[in-house]
Amino acid sequence: MDSHKLTALVVDDDRMVRIIHGKMLNSVGVKNQVVQNGKEAINVHLSGQTFDLILMDLDMPIMNGIEAIKELRSMGICSTIAGVSARSMESHIQEFMEAGLDEYLEKPLNISKLTSFIHKFYVTN
Amino acid sequence: MLGLGADLLWAHMNRLLGFLFHQGVLDEHFLQLHHLQDESSPSFVSEVLNIYFHESEKLLNNLRSLLMDRDFSDYNKMRIHLNQFMGSSSSIGAKRLTTVCLAFRAATQHSNRPGCLRALEMLEHEYCYLKNKLHELFQIEQQRALAAAARYPLQNNQ
């Protein structure tokens, strides 16, 4: 699938990170929206919107990444979800993966990591 | 003459950038920010960095407030602030600052309050240094843009 036909949701409480990740997705032709926490991500889906990709931060106020992913998966959301965090401890990453992630990407994200991730799920599958 | 000024400023900017890369203050993610800047967002880099400075100062104040509290014991809360600071710092290519954050995080994992205080002082120092250098870089860039945009009438007619 051409990345220009993909849509994405960026979920991060850090405004600067939302801007950078949104810009990166734009630069590879992926239309995207940004929200500030897990609760807003749930609400966007409850409003009827769906996305091919979700970039989900781990530590966020109101609802964190783990809680949000569990909720999204229980709602039947099958989007490809990448957890994006500065955390590096194996146990934290494991917990994040077990919540329902398809991939874990350690911050900082770059174009190369992003395009590899997109290729992995939308070119080979 | 003014064109020559722009060239000299360009050389000065590259020397400063080279120095910051060589010292490990910045890494390739800083260059990536510039690659993301385009005609649709010509001030992307300065906007992102202004947000970074604003948010970072809040985070540093939060970290200091936590550590100065006599009854402080919530290292988990401190780690949350640190992870956020690390995430944003690494995203703009602030390599040395991110490394100091790692040392700070290690101190929180051992509930080492004196270690955290020392790490915070290093973090504040490193942040000030980075901010000053980036401001210097922006000033040179602005001067260079002004010098490059200025034209002698003679040049315009050629």
Q: Which of B88, B89, B99, B108 to mutate to test binding with chain A, by most A CBs within 10 Å of its CB?
A: B88
Give A-chain residues touching B33 at CB under 8 angstroms: 20
pLDDT single digits (tens) B96-149:
999 999 999 999 999 999 999 999 999 999 999 999 999 999 999 889 888 887
Please give the pLDDT value at position B156: 45
Q: Is the pTM of this model over 0.95?
A: no
Q: For residue range A85-121, what is the model confidence (pLDDT) as tens digits? A: 887 777 788 889 999 999 999 889 999 999 999 998 8
Q: B52-63 pLDDT, tens per residue?
A: 999 999 999 999
Using the Cβ of A15 and the Cβ atoms of chain B, whether some distance falls under 8 Å is answered with: yes
Calculate how close chain A gets to B12, using CA atoms only, in Å. 27
Distances (CA, A) of B128 to B53, B122, B141: 10, 10, 20
pLDDT in tens, B5-52: 888 888 999 999 999 999 999 999 999 999 999 998 999 999 999 999
**pLDDT at A2 (0 to 100):** 65
CA A8 to CA A32: how far, in whole Å?
5
pLDDT tens, residue by residue, B82-93: 988 998 999 999
Distance between CA atoms of A70 and A68, rounded to whole angstroms?
Answer: 6
Closest residue in B to A26 (Cα–Cα): B36
Crossing angle of helices B113-149 and B95-109, rounded to 10°: 170
Smallest CA–CA distance, residue A21 to chain B, in Å, is: 9
Kindly list the structural domains of chain B, giving each domain's residue range(s) and its CATH number in brackets, ordered by start: 6-34+45-151 (1.20.120.160)
Predicted pLDDT of residue B149: 79
Contacts of A87 in chain B (CB under 8 A): 83
* Per-residue confidence (pLDDT) for residue B70, from 0 to 100: 85
DSSP state letter for B94: B
A19-75 pLDDT, tens digit per residue, is 999 999 999 999 999 999 999 999 999 999 999 999 999 989 899 999 999 999 999
User: Does A92 touch chain B if contact means CB atoms closer than 8 Å?
Assistant: no
Judged by CB atoms closer than 8 Å, whether chains meet at A109 and B80 is answered as: no
Structural class in CATH, domain A7-119: alpha beta
Strands (E), chain A: 7-11, 31-35, 53-57, 80-85, 103-106
| A–B interface: beta-carbon pairs under 8 A | 58
